[in-house]
Amino acid sequence: MNQQPLQFALDPGTSQYVTYYEGTLPLVLAAPHGGRLFPSNIPDRKLENGTITVTDAYTKDVALGIARKLYEKTGDIPHIVILQLARTKVDVNRDKLEGSDSTAGREVWQEYHDTIKRAIAKINANYDHGMFVDIHGHGHPENWIELGYLLDNYTLKYSDEDLYERNVASTSSIRSLSQRYPDIAFSSFLRGNNSIGNRLSVKHRLKTTPSRSLPYPHRNQKYFFGGYCTQTYGSKNGGGIDAIQIELPKNLRFQKAGRESVIAALSESLMWMLCMFYHDEYRAKM
Domain spans, the chain? 22-281
CA 37 to chain centre: 22
Rounded CA-CA distance 90/101 in Å is 8
Q: Is 144 exposed, middle or buried (0-12, 13-18, 19+ CB in 10 A)?
A: buried
CB distance 39 to 108 below 8 Å: no
Sign of the dihedral defined by the CA atoms of residues 91, 221, 203, 181, in that order: negative
CB distance 18 to 107 below 8 Å: no
Q: Measured in Å, how far apart are the chain's first and last C-alpha atoms?
A: 29
Q: How distant, in Å, are the alpha carbons of 12, 189, 194, 217 from that of 150?
A: 33, 14, 18, 14
- Partners of 18 in the β-ladder: 83
Q: Map residue 28 onto helix, strand or coil.
A: strand
Tell me which long-range contacts 269-273 makes (C-beta under 8 A, separation of at least 24).
269/196, 269/199, 269/200, 269/203, 269/204, 270/27, 270/66, 270/70, 270/131, 270/133, 270/196, 271/70, 271/73, 271/74, 272/199, 273/131, 273/196, 273/199
Contacts for 185 with CB less than 8 Å, ≥ 6 apart: 160, 163, 164, 192
Assigned CATH topology for domain 22-281 = Aminopeptidase (3.40.630)
Q: Which stretches in the chain have pLDDT values below 70?
A: 1-7, 9-13, 48-52, 219, 281-286
CA 175 to chain centre: 16
Sign of the dihedral defined by the CA atoms of residues 147, 59, 76, 208, in that order: negative
Rounded CA-CA distance 195/234 in Å is 16
Per DSSP, 42 falls in state S
Residue 1 confidence (pLDDT):
29
Residue 2 confidence (pLDDT):
35
Contacts for 113 with CB less than 8 Å, ≥ 6 apart: 92, 232
Residue 177 confidence (pLDDT):
97
Residue 222 confidence (pLDDT):
83
